[in-house]
Amino acid sequence: MKRLLILNSKGGCGKTTIATNLAGFYAASGTSTALFDYDPQGSSKRWLELRPDQFPDISGVFAAKTTQGSVTRSFALRVPPDTQRIIVDTPASMKRLEMMEMLRSATAVVVPVLPSGIDCHVTLDFLKQLSDLVRQMGLNIPIGIVANRVRINTRSFKKLKASLEELDVPLVAFLRESQNYVYAAESGYAVVDLKQPAFKKDNQQWSILINWLETGQLQPSIPPSNKETQHVVNLQ
């Protein structure tokens, strides 16, 4: 069983988008998958509640609640015994001890970042702190960066790539800016669930991230063109 941690102290960087779509991709491949939502806002939990029955099942755990009545925390966090992948959606701010607890059980860490000056600055600081913490704990966990809501030809994305080159943490994938994610999230879909041509580029970009998580190998990312960011489908 692999436990994949989606982590960033910065809010609004796309942690839930990555967590829900990762869960959807693994489930679609026939992998028994669980999605943990540690964020009190419960966005991943709501996504699961919207998920249509015809799509592959994903076990959901709203981990932000510690106990309910006589239910112990360990019981509340249980997953089916055949679970192969656990995707963990984390809150924007976490105490050091909470982060350490999650890191101890993690197989890999995905850090989303938006290509904006503020997000880049905050995330770079967080990545340095995260790398130091992992090193101090003596852990050997792969950490990868995913650039989210990317427009390939913008100055902000070029500056983000230049800033990330100064770190030891690789940029493993990037996801284009597209309303496809908005439509999918509102309906409980992952982009892999949708076979329309408008989602082909999205699925290719997600395959690159999945490959890194499963093999540790980096692949060239597929650049999203500005025209493609306007190509969406109506799921109504």
Asked if residue 236 belongs to a domain, the reply is no
User: 11 is in which domain, residue-wise?
Assistant: 2-230
CA–CA separation, 174 and 223 (whole Å): 8
Asked if residue 80 belongs to a domain, the reply is yes
Asked if residue 235 belongs to a domain, the reply is no
C-alpha Rg value of the chain to the nearest Å:
17
Asked if residue 90 belongs to a domain, the reply is yes
How many domains is the chain built from? 1
Helix (H, G, I), strand (E, B) or coil at 201: helix
Asked if residue 18 belongs to a domain, the reply is yes
* pLDDT value of position 153: 78
Asked if residue 95 belongs to a domain, the reply is yes
Entry pTM: 0.86
* pLDDT value of position 156: 78
pLDDT of the chain, 236 residues: tens digit per residue: 999 999 998 888 999 999 999 999 999 999 999 999 999 999 999 999 999 999 999 999 988 865 455 455 665 677 888 999 999 999 988 889 999 999 999 999 999 998 887 888 888 899 999 999 999 999 999 999 999 888 877 787 888 888 877 778 899 998 999 999 998 999 999 999 988 888 888 989 999 999 999 999 888 654 544 444 333 333 32
Asked if residue 25 belongs to a domain, the reply is yes
Asked if residue 32 belongs to a domain, the reply is yes
DSSP 167: S
Burial class (CB in 10 A: 0-12, 13-18, 19+), 71: exposed
CATH number of the domain that 176 lies in?
3.40.50.300
